[in-house]
Amino acid sequence: MLTRKQHDLLIFIHDRLAATGVSPSFEEMKEALDLKSKSGVHRLISALEERNFIRRLPNRARALEVLRMPETVAGKAAAPATKAKAPASAPVPQAANENVLEIPLHGRIAAGLPIEALEGQSSLSVPAALLGPGEHYALEVSGDSMVEAGILDGDYALIRRAQTARDGEIVVALIADHEATLKYFRKEGAMVRLDPANRSYDPQRYKPDQVQIQGKLAGLLRRY
């Protein structure tokens, strides 16, 4: 049996993995559950791990996998949950009748310092289940500044085309019309701040007219 907070956190992690393939950050979990500190998140995750509802994926920063969903919560039956999609770090099973889409693969994008995003003629085969509505393309990730978001060097970022973003979303930002980077999008006064997910890197700040949103992270593929 789970407490209400444990149940709510498990559902939040499950839904985020199903929607994006990426585990939520501790800050996002803290805000979602209206906790005062991240230590509360650590305690809840440890409790879920001890009860075999989740597991931490080894050698991967902030990577969680939902193993099962609860039948009851604090003496009350929980709503049935759909099966979680595989996390970004797991191979994606492809059934024989599963639709596979070909989306454009546009070169490499920096998850560290900005580099030029090259337009290419290649394509990437992606299970349709990983993509929601909208137009998508893929970029190969270069760098380690997003490792705490579960995004590693060599991953393929699946991007849904968009021109706007909300605070806290992971975006492809085109800087000064020729450099692109994958970062958390934030507004900071009159400036745009692009935050890494690696304590070794500093946030990047730009004037709004220097930054153009070209898409939002929709999922990840990792090859072994």
The residues carrying an active-site annotation are 145, 183
Beta-carbon count within 10 A of 220 CB: 23
Of the candidates 210, 181, 211, 214, the residue with the CA atom closest to the CA atom of residue 196: 181
**4-20 and 38-50 helices, crossing angle to 10°:** 90
> What is the number of other CB atoms lying within 10 angstroms of the CB of residue 17?
22
Which residues does residue 72 pair with via DSSP β-bridges, in sequence order?
77
Q: Which amino acid is at 46?
A: S
Answer yes or no: are the C-beta atoms of 189 and 206 closer than 8 Å.
no
